[in-house]
Amino acid sequence: MVTTSLNEEPVRVMVTGLGAVTALGSTAQSLWQGVKQGRVAIKPVQSMPMESYQTRLGGEVKELVFPPLTHWHSRGFREPTIDFALKAVEEAIANSGIGFQQVPPERWGVVIGTCMAGFPSARQWYSGKVFQESPAPELLLFFPPQALAEAIGGTFKLQGPLLSISTACAAGANAIGYAAELIRNGHADVVLAGGSDAFSDVLFAGFNSLESLSPEPASPYSQHRQGLSLGEGSGILVLVREDIARRLGSPLLGQILAYGLSADGYHPTAPHPEGVGAAQAIRSAIARAGVSSTQVRYINGHGTGTAKNDPAETKAVRLALGDAADSVALSSTKSMIGHLLGAAGAVEGIVTLKALQEQIAPPTANFQGKAPECNLDYVPNSARPLSMDVAISNNFAFGGHNACVVFARSDANVASPPTIEPEEVVITGISTLTAAGNSLDAAWNAFVTNQVCTQVENGVQVGRVHLDPSGFLTPRDRRRMDRLGVLSVVATQLVLQDAGIEVTPENQNRIGVMFGTGLGPIESLEKFFHPLLEEGIKGANPAVFPNTVYNAAAGLVSIHTGIVGPSSTVTAGHAAGASALCYGYDLVASGQADTMVCIATDTLTDHVILGYKELELLSSNSLVSSAGNGFALAEGSVALVLERLSSAKARQARIYGQMQGYGIASDSKGVGRFNLRGVGLEQAMKVAMSRSHIEPADVMAIWANAAGYRPADIAEATAVRHLFNKVKLDVITPKRVLGESIGVGGMLNAALALKAWQQPGYYPTPTGTVLVNSCSLGGTHFSIALNSCSTTKQDK
């Protein structure tokens, strides 16, 4: 069983540094001073044409942002989302009282939230191809959300977990909560947490097509509100273990007590009208923090200013706090800087911490009289003194994903959160949709027989999923779904069936969804953006826009299955599936869920294939050799059910195996680069074994990441040879047969590793541990320890 701090004295997580880039200025102090004064920075946007939209306003970053420490970037173009984040990181670190030399690099982590990630870079490349120019292929390396985390890690030489979250408008808050848990669970001592997003024409055209933009600065909760105002920027918090922060003499700006996640399972864009899902996230956060509803004195609200969001949030607060809602102050920072999407929860978390520090409730600006359906205290137009020890920040997103973070003063007299006895986490369901077929047996048989599952497209090998979804989704269901959503929903329905789980009103809050994707909604992004290039604003399709966020597929899973427990979307590039398993494992082990459905899905388009081809990553061979001459690109969807052992036993579930633990480490070389000596992956395997209480001699096989990408393959081979030089073990390489299915590969390897225990004689012994390795293209490495069901303590 993995040792965690869950049943020991809880680890307190302090905030020691803050950094922000917003329309109010390029520092956290300028953000707070502006918000405290109620200064509205939603002004005419200067960086892009605005004539065609419902509004010409936005919370635009006016100052030029060039971080003194820079990162490798594409020639001729700097990704603004990354520059915003690096500038915020530099400020946060400078004010944190912690030098990078004072904590070992492998004990530093990054968790960054974003909605659109590096879309500006992808836009440069895609528009160049459409207009028959010659854009630089490396622009594509800066598109995935993981590039943001790896740019930060590479710039500051951080070698711990580098992770990205993309739950649209809830991503920044989700990132802060997850970062705090990484510290509590012993995976890091210091984590840079927050979010970053930049303006693009897709964002304005999308919200314009939904008729959500306000022609005037947003006036949340007001009677005559007209919609939201978009914003851009970044917010970063330095999270530190309390004992380390005190030893280093760092300023203690506040603490992160807990966080809560949930899903609405209601609609792709609209919140549940009664605020049920949002209330669940708030209740979960407060309960895990060990505080009462009466202790919550201030809420930094989601407060977008739209017709449906503000009343739903009001109802959610009343559902969660009960009578205490009447005495809470709630305000919207978005009324002053706009909606920063994936960065919103980060900058709003900073405002919440400053409010606690200075004992001030900041205002909701532009307030024009309380709307009848909004009946709380919204601190209209002027800040006021407020004595408080505890405050929360809410963020709710497209896809129905909700996040709530509980903050407290650093010296607040609050009870310790309740301790939870850690428990084994077992796998009770598997489903696979691959180019080999739509079952685990099909994938296994293709792997062991070296079956060719790919075909040549434009001179390279490509593997496609062939699925008739009519048995799972009606034509009406599929009408507004892309392939990412269809494959994810079908994989989930199959895995629930395989696990023997029926989702009911009684258990739906205790089952969660963890979605991993490397490229995300690439089909929908292309489908939405291409008409914009050719037709302008009239080409914007409101039916497509909701699918352009990375978490849309996870939201559809909740809608079609009724699962409304903790839900998130992780985007660690080619290691996204492994990242989903690791995060899902933590949520189950810590008691936030009894069961997590972990899904990994990626799909292909012609432009995706072209991009990989231009980056010289693809192979023309049907079976990839060990020479590292490129990989066969594939699509797929895989789902695994992770469950608390007690839950599995209670329903007499079949158990495929146990997830003992995991390790995450990074090369810190930056976007698209590996350490060829395998330092990061070796560290990840060491951590996985240490947390699983095993030695190298206990490992009987490694299910390798190797797929044909030479730098990654060399790094992995070097790491395995160095760590297991005295151990005889099998190194198994399914990707060389089934193809590199981007973010799906790590989870598919885990499924095959579990299937192998059902094949007599495949492993040298029927018991023992295997490691499943997975790596992003930027050197973030995951290693997951799995054990056979015969060694799981089912009769404990």
The domains found in the chain, sorted by start residue, are 13-408 (3.40.47.10), 425-791 (3.40.47.10)
Cα–Cα distance, 738 to 638 (Å, whole number): 13
For 475, residues 6+ apart whose C-beta sits below 8 A from its C-beta are none
> At which residue do the structure tokens 């225990």 appear?
757
775 is catalytic: no
pLDDT digits (tens, 9 = 90+) for 587-629: 999 999 999 999 999 999 999 999 999 999 998 776 655 556 7
Q: What is the dihedral of CA 568, 288, 187, 421, to 10 degrees?
A: -110
Catalytic annotation, pick one of 71, 73, 115, 169? 169
Cα–Cα distance, 631 to 96 (Å, whole number): 43
Minimal CA–CA distance to 489: which of 473, 471, 507? Answer: 473
115 is catalytic: no
Minimal CA–CA distance to 222: which of 84, 357, 114, 374? Answer: 374
> pLDDT category, 70, cuts 50, 70, 90?
low
The pLDDT value given to residue 275: 97
Model confidence at 225: pLDDT above 70: yes
Catalytic annotation, pick one of 71, 302, 401, 574? 302
Q: Are 63 and 26 in contact (CB under 8 A)?
A: yes
> pLDDT category, 64, cuts 50, 70, 90?
confident
> pLDDT category, 793, cuts 50, 70, 90?
very low
> pLDDT category, 795, cuts 50, 70, 90?
very low
What DSSP state is assigned to residue 742? G
pLDDT digits (tens, 9 = 90+) for 368-385: 999 999 999 999 999 999
Model confidence at 2: pLDDT above 70: no
3-state helix, strand, coil in the chain (%, to 5): 40, 20, 40
Model confidence at 5: pLDDT above 50: no
What DSSP state is assigned to residue 549? S
Minimal CA–CA distance to 579: which of 489, 511, 667, 517? Answer: 517
Three-state DSSP state, 771: strand
**Looking at 2-16, 207-221, 664-678, 772-786, which range is the least confident one?**
2-16
Q: What is the percent of the chain with per-residue pLDDT over 70, rounded to a whole number? A: 95
What is the mean pLDDT of the segment spanning 292-314?
A: 97
CA distances from 4 to 487, 506, 591, 644, 746 (A): 35, 29, 13, 15, 24
> At which residue do the structure tokens 């930027």 appear?
778
> pLDDT category, 6, cuts 50, 70, 90?
very low
Model confidence at 23: pLDDT above 80: yes
339 is catalytic: yes
Q: What are phi and psi of 234, to 5 degrees?
A: -150, 150
Catalytic annotation, pick one of 339, 560, 574, 607? 339
Q: What angle do CA 240, 677, 748 make, to 5 degrees?
A: 75
Bridge partners for 788 per DSSP: 657
The pLDDT value given to residue 348: 99
Model confidence at 1: pLDDT above 80: no
The pLDDT value given to residue 4: 37
Instruction: Tell me if the pTM is above 0.85.
Output: yes
What is the mean pLDDT of the segment spanning 428-455?
A: 96
pLDDT digits (tens, 9 = 90+) for 751-781: 999 999 999 989 988 888 999 999 999 999 9
The pLDDT value given to residue 784: 99
What is the mean pLDDT of the segment spanning 11-17?
A: 97
Q: What is the percent of the chain with per-residue pLDDT over 90, rounded to a whole number? A: 90
> pLDDT category, 791, cuts 50, 70, 90?
very low
> At which residue do the structure tokens 């205790």 appear?
510
Model confidence at 85: pLDDT above 90: yes
Mean pLDDT, rounded, of the chain: 94
Cα–Cα distance, 228 to 330 (Å, whole number): 18
pLDDT digits (tens, 9 = 90+) for 697-708: 999 999 999 999
Tell me how far apart the terminal alpha carbons of the chain are, to the nearest angstrom: 12
The pLDDT value given to residue 794: 42
The pLDDT value given to residue 286: 97
pLDDT digits (tens, 9 = 90+) for 462-492: 999 999 999 999 999 999 999 999 999 999 9
> pLDDT category, 413, cuts 50, 70, 90?
confident
